[in-house]
Amino acid sequence: MESAFWERVVAEGHKVPADRSLADLTSELTTMLGDTDPRRRDGIAYEVLARWVTEGVYDHLLEGLGDGMAIGLLVGIGQRDTDTVFRRSFSALILGECISRTNEQHLLRADTVLRWGDRVAGWLVREQDLRGFVVGKGWAHAVAHGADALTALASSEAVRRLELTVLLDVIADRLLAETDQRLVHGEDDRLALAVMAILRRDLVGLDVVEPWIARLAMHARPDFTRSGDQYAVAGNVASFLRALHLQLALAPRPPAVRSDLLLTLIEQLRAMHPRFLA
């Protein structure tokens, strides 16, 4: 369909067109999630799909839609600096919307949510294209969109202590993966928000979180033995830990471990920046 058709859908309040089948509309919108035109991808495909999920249009088809988005996570996986990243990244966003919808309405079985969680986690640690904003094509933002999906997962009743611990490891593995790409488009804040969602469940204690933070902090200072950008991994980790400290200190609905975890974070931040905090 021409863009004009979808522009009318957006202009008319995202109402589902009565003269087209929902299956055909969904198929086209799914394809548009990978479009290099940011208006078609962000402003139409994502916006329409997200609105329809939120408004319950897909309630009877939510598992099928989510499974389709999970397949989208694998399109071009392993590629870097190619346009396939848009399909993967925006599939993660819509999958997060599907998880949020079933969190609110209790529409799907726990095993469905856990299956989606496995797909998101597997994709996020394998993703090689970490670009944020792509000139002329808009937001790729795979890490940020993956973090948003993890936030939705962490809020699911299907996800218990073991799975929440796995999500923490996924976030650490993503941050510690070898890269020359600095995450400078808010990914640190979005990942920290995912961790806050995990902590707010009050199922993961300090016995898990303190060693997890220590693992990250070990890599938060530049490695001058490596070639290339010696601050790439270290900078990403340090920015994340500062973002987590900020949210833990100031965000509402603090988790039960807040006070003790703040002390741990402050101790690690001091050790990370001895030159500036002496």
- Tens of pLDDT, residue by residue over 181-217, are 999 999 999 999 999 999 999 999 999 999 999 999 9
Give the pLDDT confidence score for residue 265 in this predicted structure: 97
Whole-prediction pTM value? 0.96
- Tens of pLDDT, residue by residue over 10-21, are 999 999 999 999
On the question of pLDDT at 222 being above 70, the answer is: yes
Give the pLDDT confidence score for residue 163 in this predicted structure: 98
Give the pLDDT confidence score for residue 3 in this predicted structure: 84
Give the pLDDT confidence score for residue 2 in this predicted structure: 77
* Mean pLDDT score of the chain: 96
Residue type, 235: G
For 252-258, which contacts have Cβ atoms below 8 Å and span 24 or more sequence positions?
A: 253/200, 255/196, 255/199, 255/200, 255/201, 255/202, 256/202, 257/199, 257/202, 257/205, 257/206, 257/209, 258/199
Name 19's Cβ contacts closer than 8 Å, sequence gap at least 6.
Answer: none
Residue with tokens 């997200």: 50
Q: Whose CA is closest to 216, among 272, 278, 158?
A: 272
On the question of pLDDT at 225 being above 90, the answer is: no
Q: What residues pair up with 134 in beta bridges, in sequence order?
A: 138
Give the pLDDT confidence score for residue 232 in this predicted structure: 86
Mean pLDDT for 107-130 is: 98
Spell out where 58-131 has E strands.
none
Lowest-confidence range among 162-166, 176-180, 225-229?
A: 225-229
